[in-house]
A and B are shown apart, each in its own frame.
Chain A
Amino acid sequence: MNDIMIEANGVTKTFGTVTALDGVSIQVPRGSVLGLLGHNGAGKTTLVNILTTMLPPSGGTASVAGFDVVTAGNEVRGRIGLTGQFASVDEQLSGTDNLVLIARLLGASRREARARTDELLNLFDLADAAKRPAKTYSGGMRRRLDLAASLVGRPDVIFLDEPTTGLDPASRIGMWEIVEELVGGGTTVLLTTQYLEEADRLADAITVLSAGKVVAAGTASELKAQVGKRAVHVTLAAPQDAHTAVSALTRHGLAPVLDEAHAELRTPVETSSDLAVVVRALDEVHVEVAELALTEPSLDDVYLTLAKNNAA
């Protein structure tokens, strides 16, 4: 059963004159994790909101678990869990009451609701705080309760919108372990994040969004390969030399990426002998270099390269 659990075809969304999504297509097979990577405003949350039926798309089609998000919203909502950027829990109610409420609304009997609630509270290490109102919970506990709330109905598909934003490092790792367990249990996950480390660790496939468009898609290693095996990082002594340096490197057949704010150049290279090419090229045009380094690629490079190329 390796069918597609989340599918978007040319989804667009406009808010007045602002285009938040511009023809986004994704496919997520059952039991896999798609990492949706992008900076603030890239359109990640808008896409999640459309896939979870919270917002209607302006164009294109999308389906979750085989149900169209526009025409079969209730079917979709019955099969998904959603954990947004802000914990959606009732602060007045205890952890137990929050989860029981959801289970009952989903159609569980009192006894079933109670059993599922206890199971989740134990799983998420909230059993000790079960009776306390959620407003007394720490940020990490609230996030865990929120995630537990989205799992009450044993959803086939889970949407996690920046699940670790604002969490301390220990809570973040705890959240990662929970996601890994879920995936081990066969759940399909769509995860948005600004953290490359998070996507690298959790996602089977990564889609990079920038300004409402998919600018890259593939596995973490495919994306890394796309950028080059290694890169030469150059920090210029004088920022005004930046464009001279870029054209010099381009003349030598390289593809430098300029980070103007920091007067830095990142040039993907095939072999370490290309380091000499970079030095020679910059020397020819008398550009002074403050710092020079050969670095191994990381997802950061992928992200920066793609985001920059797209902005240029």
Chain B
Amino acid sequence: MSTIALPRWRGTGTTAQIGILTGRSLRALVGDPKLMIFSLLQPLIMLLLFSQVFGSMAGTENFPAGVSYINYLMPAILVTTGVGAALQSGIGLVSDMKNGVLARLRSLPINHSSVLVARSLSDLIRTALQLLILLAAAVVLFDFSPQGGLLGVVPAFLLALAVSWALSWIFLAVGAWVRNAESMQTVGFLAMFPLMFASSAFVPIDGLPTWLRVVATINPLTYAVDASRNLALGLPVGSGVWSALAASVGLLVVGAVLAVRGFRRPLPV
């Protein structure tokens, strides 16, 4: 081979690595938008079905006065879609472990944590896009027009995104340790459904049977949903937003530490 003795490339810093790897994931997203479209289908179907099934609940005694069901529902859908996207983040990590991409990256002189941070950042961007498309669809197709207006919806969107990002680190940690897509799906599914339904996401918790109300009251998702909803509806938010953000930061730190530790372990051989 006509290899001339060229100077060796000097390697890259962690920031550059994160930038390059994030770009790679986003390029894969643009090249194959199927995953993104499919992950939008579920929340759209929920919007359609729930607004029909539960629509008549608006105006009943436990329901906030003067609020339409779609305006009540949509902020919760933002949060639950974000939670689903966070789960996808962990599943994506596991599938990269399977298909050999990570094996290649690990053989390079780069910081292993760059790979995790890059995945998390590109997933954050993907989730932001998903939520924005969902918001646009809700406005155009379902007449979503909450009392809080744009100044309420934007913070509601950002809060949902923050919760999603924090949870994505928890799922990345689970993925880095479990390393099995099927287990991830099962764990995710088992965790998601009770969290979603035993919460204030779809109906006011005051209308729930007592035992379920207790579960919903201690369910952290209830707080995220309430905070996002109150922001969008222009209702007083109290300390809810700050508690949700503080919990998110806590989850993010714990998740990131565990994810990096799990990720450093050798790949199965």
Contacts and interface: CB of A to CB of B under 8 A. Distances in A.
B3 A104 contact: no
Interface stretch (B103-111, B140-148, B224-232): B103-111
- Most-contacted residue by chain A among B10, B17, B108 (CB, 10 A): B108
B20 interface: yes
A55 B265 CA distance: 9
Interface stretch (A146-154, A232-240, A242-250, A271-279): A146-154
A77 B3 CA distance: 20
Interface of A: 45-46, 49, 52, 54-56, 74-75, 77-82, 84, 86-93, 97, 101-108, 112, 123, 133, 146, 149-150, 153-154, 181-182, 184-186
Contacts of A92: 28, 31-32
22 contacts: A45-B269, A49-B269, A54-B106, A54-B269, A56-B266, A77-B107, A79-B8, A86-B100, A88-B101, A88-B107, A90-B101, A90-B104, A91-B99, A92-B31, A93-B31, A102-B104, A102-B108, A105-B105, A106-B9, A107-B10, A108-B9, A186-B3
A83 B103 CA distance: 10
B12 A104 contact: yes
A29 B28 CA distance: 41
B11 interface: yes
A79 B10 CA distance: 11
A110 to B, nearest CB: 10
Interface of B: 1-3, 6, 8-12, 17, 20-21, 24, 27-28, 31-32, 99-101, 103-110, 266-267, 269
A312 to B, nearest CB: 29
Given A92-B32, A133-B31, A106 B11 contact: yes
Given A93-B28, A107-B10, A74 B1 contact: no
A107 B12 contact: yes
Nearest to A46: B269
A79 B9 CA distance: 10
Interface of B is mostly: loop
Nearest to B106: A54
Contacts of B105: 105
B15 to A, nearest CB: 12
B108 A97 contact: no
Contacts of A81: 107
Contacts of A91: 99
B104 A88 contact: yes
Contacts of B1: 123, 181-182, 184-185
Contacts of B266: 49, 54-56
Contact of A106 (B6, B99, B103, B108): B108
Closest 10 CB pairs of A and B: A107-B9, A88-B104, A88-B100, A78-B109, A92-B28, A77-B109, A185-B1, A88-B103, A82-B107, A106-B9
A77 B11 CA distance: 11
A84 B103 contact: yes
A249 B155 CA distance: 89
Contacts of B31: 92-93, 133
A103 B21 CA distance: 12
Contacts of B109: 74-75, 77-78, 106
Contacts of B104: 88-90, 102, 146, 149
- Most-contacted residue by chain A among B2, B9, B20, B32 (CB, 10 A): B9
- Most-contacted residue by chain B among A77, A78, A90 (CB, 10 A): A90
A116 to B, nearest CB: 9
A90 B10 contact: no
Nearest to A52: B107
B103 A78 contact: no
- Most-contacted residue by chain B among A90, A105, A153 (CB, 10 A): A105
B206 to A, nearest CB: 47
B93 to A, nearest CB: 14
A90 B17 CA distance: 17
